[in-house]
Structure 1
């Protein structure tokens, strides 16, 4: 028998009148009625204290419920297409990601006040990253509190961006066979030896102006909005092998690179030391390709000029075009990254957590690329940090490296031009004159 019915029976056995009028009940002049009211209040109080669910209005057919129903009812192609549109990966890839995240989330469930199932938590965070939705919008789709969305966003992006957790598994500087594979793919693309990566910077637009104590002027960039800078290096498959996001948007790419751990590793020769390729008699270590916003170094080769330059030789312009083919990989990688994870086009995360979320999206980008997930069609990135007016001059310690970098570029150019002369047909210039591949010292030694 229900407790409420037992109370009614008890009151009747005590001789109380259940038809006592409301005024009498309210004034508590009837002892039995008073006891009855107290017991009813105690009963409902105990129910409310024992479970908060009585205060929540259950929502039927939430977004997550519909996604799960579709998992079982649709064929694989329809299911994967739907999952890719909402979570930027197929259902199978989602399950793989879930397996990667779960061990770290199981040990930190107590950090979230309103615990939800791991798959649901991962799904709602991916949904937020994919569309850039605010916590309130995501919470209504997944029937959780906005604070829960915020906490799981912090937790999952921390797992993805942490070097001791998932970052190092999906983002790593190449070496050994992996490095050799990078070099081979870039050489097949450009016919230039020992390229192993492409580097550039892009703006991650902030949703709101940084607070006064965060010095907003440093985040105002040359494209006229507030941002943080993302530096990335990728391979020929548009997979990042290094990313860095620790600079405000007003900073120059070259300054951002010099402040990164990658710069120190390259400069000290701790990475990309082998294999050495002897090019035109000069030992060339593996190097990355940058645009003219970067300083030229033995480990960082840039074009002779910013674009087709009438004052440069035809061969120099063609050599620059080949370097730019390699550099286009990082531009495409940024385009794919931002198309997949829409939050990067309008970062509605507090500045304190913005770099963590950016790096997490880069890890997810690599996860999708390595899993063979479909790439977005439009790969243009309109927020590349490529409109700086000058390259900050190198300090004294970098001056000799810069000279060595120019000598390396001249050797690479000579080697490339000699092979063009050997295997390719002559090129006709705009005036109809045949350009003969005469490797004059004045051209080959251009600095």
Structure 2
């Protein structure tokens, strides 16, 4: 009998690969941070001895959820300026508040608050775009959480950098410092075509090609944005990025609510990934991402929450349900985004967009043990006929009991093991008082 680090005996395992498979009466074996085996429970009990063995008789195990687009530190701005259209929300409220308050302390405390929320909701990896990405990276690494941090670029100065040259210089230095961190990766993060000049986007493309890093950008978020850009530049933003050579499998295009058939075909042809944020788009009335048409064209679609300032939570269970229901309504087809595919968007789709699908996003031997346990035992989850459908259409983040990242138990029976929840709570209240009274 082989002694290993952790042996989990759930009721169900939903590995995501192969698609649609639900394994009942199986076990998950973890050793040295990676998944060693997925096998029938009877065989696991005969083959392995876990230093830690956990029986989860009413639970399902799923891959850790991947939040493919977030502004983690903006959790401190949750609810600050609700029920406003995007332009007014951003330019009249969010940017002025950020200009006054964003600092290393703000980003550290906001990121810790966001990570606590995400881990308690089964999220093990997030793709972030915000100022002071070095602070975000340190906070995530210290907490044991997986993150892709954005090397932010924007045409106006901030507390992080005075201009484009400094944004890029600091980003390159951070990328170099993080090259050997097993949990943290990087992506270039120009904010949007309307806030980053074409010459800067060309510089970003050149650097991204040299370093083989993704480019994470807001794109085609609203009709007004697209129309204004077309009036100013003579073509739509996607076409402009195409002319600059940015459309490729390295481009992570966030929102994409305004797409015609030719644009969908071009996105599919060039391998662009679409990062879909359904609840933020609904709340800001930005439009509807044509998910069913993108998937039919062969585009990889991932799922994100956006920031808590525009959502207002970091709840990937909510995003899965909203994405599935919205896709059906937009397509006029009840089969447009089945439950299993919604889970794919929230796991393997996100991992693929970030270039991490060889290591995370599904529960296969050899991958990192990024695992979420969901309890289906409560009254509200009864009766249970199909675990996959139950997971997407009738489950909530409050049912997440345990989370592992690279085999490390970061949430244990709803208790965070690497983050001080009380201290995070206190600092969040202090920031609220400071910002509200400022």
Q: Which has the higher contact order (CA 8 A, sep 6+)?
A: 2
Structure showing greater radius of gyration is 1
TM-score normalized by the length of structure 2:
0.22
Larger proportion of helix: 1
